[in-house]
Each structure stands twice: as C-alpha cells, then as structure tokens.
Amino acid sequence: MAECLECGGELPEGAHNCPGCGAPVVTTQSGAAPVVSSPTLSQTAGHGKAKKRFPRGAVVAIIAGCVTVALIVLMVVLLAVSVVDIFKKPADVANAYIKALSSGNLDTAWDYLSAGARTEKDRATFESDVRGLGGRIRKWNARSILIRDHKAQVTLDVEFNSGEEATVYVYLVKENGEWRVRSAAETPVPGFEENTGV
C-alpha cells in the first residue's frame, strides 16, 4: 500500500485523497512524472472536511426564537414592575401622610390631601383635628392595600408612644394621576372592608 506524502498515512488503492489529512494523492503513470490530483472545493476549505452549515431557515428561526424569548422576558419584568408600582404608590402616600402627622409637619400633611378633603374641611379645622398627633406616633406599618378603580385603602397598624395600638384606614383617591388622601379613620371605608374568610 502507498503512503501519503503529507501525513504518512496509508492510502487505499485507487484513493484520490488521503483519508487521514485530505491531501491529494500523487500518482504516477508508467514512465511519466508524478501527477498531483487537483483538490476539490471541499478539500480546499479544511483538508477534505466539508463545512457543515445550518440551513438559512434554521438560522432565521433561531434568531427569531431568541428575540421572542428576550421580548417575553422584558414584558414579564415590565409587568412585575408596574404591578409593584400600582400597590406601592398608595402605600407611599399613606406612609408619607402619617409621617408628616407624626412629626407635626401639618403643611406637608395638608399637601397630601385630596381636593375633596380640602373642600370638606378648611385648613384651620384640619389642623385642629390632627394637631394632637404630633410626636405621639412611635411607629406604623402598612398591613394591606386594597385598590378599586381610582380609589385605595391602606390599612396601617399604628403604635403610639403611650403603648396604645390602633388600626388606621387611610382612604385615597387618584386625582390627575396622583394618589391623594381623602380621609384617615379607625373604621374602614364602606366597600373596602377587608375580606376575612370565604
């Protein structure tokens, strides 16, 4: 058996290319100079090993699949952020309102009130009603948030410096895209009672 001039591997009889390295086989004809067979297209790009390529449709499908997965992930993230934001905003306003009352900052507390609350009570009546809360609230915690249409109720567990505890229901309405405090009381707003069972 003949040997490949490139790699030294054994060449089967009648082979045109070396099975080991893909080099063309040098053949001789009776009394003639050695002839080198011309390499084929597949041999020029990788010594006898043809490059395997994905069909064009498969490449397009893979790219489309990756883009679809990326869009789905983006939509899930945006949805999660918006859902959290929907519940967070009323709680933030209720917390800021109680904080303003607790610190005795009645100007800020007044600014959180809705137009309806300001119409119902003038500034002097409001300040008279809440003035006693300044410095009395030790801590508070939002227990639940109920949202219906453009209305919300944030239920707060409030602890006073005296050790007393109370549940305060802060009722909010959405005005011009912003949550505003409509009222705060120790009883839930009708229609916003917390479900306790069923």
Domain with 71, as residue range(s), is 57-185
In a domain, 120, yes or no: yes
Q: Looking at the domain assignment, is residue 176 inside a domain?
A: yes
pLDDT at 195: 46
C-alpha span between 9 and 166 (Å, rounded): 92
User: In which region does residue 111 sit, left (phi positive, over 0), alpha (psi from -120 to 50) or beta (all else)?
Assistant: alpha
Tokens linked to 85: 């934001």
In a domain, 4, yes or no: no
Query: What does the alpha-carbon distance between residue 134 and residue 62 come to, in Å, rounded to a whole number?
Result: 63
In a domain, 83, yes or no: yes
Identify whether 16 is part of a domain: no
Q: What pLDDT does residue 40 have?
A: 52
- C-alpha distances in angstroms, 117 versus 113, 126, 162, 189? 6, 9, 29, 14
170, part of any domain: yes
In a domain, 68, yes or no: yes
5 part of a folded domain: no
Q: What is the pLDDT along the chain (198 residues), one digit of tens a residue?
A: 678 887 788 888 888 888 888 888 776 655 444 444 555 554 444 555 556 677 778 888 889 999 999 999 888 877 766 665 566 789 999 999 999 998 889 999 999 999 999 999 899 999 888 887 878 888 999 888 888 888 999 999 999 999 999 999 999 999 998 999 999 888 887 876 654 332
**Residues sharing a CB contact under 8 Å with residue 138, sequence separation 6 or more, in sequence order:** 159, 160, 161
The total domain count for the chain is: 1
The pTM is what?
Answer: 0.56
Residue 87 belongs to domain with CATH number: 3.10.450.50
Q: Count CB-CB contacts under 10 A for residue 57.
A: 8
Please tell me the distance from the alpha carbon of residue 174 to that of residue 86, in angstroms, as a whole number. 12
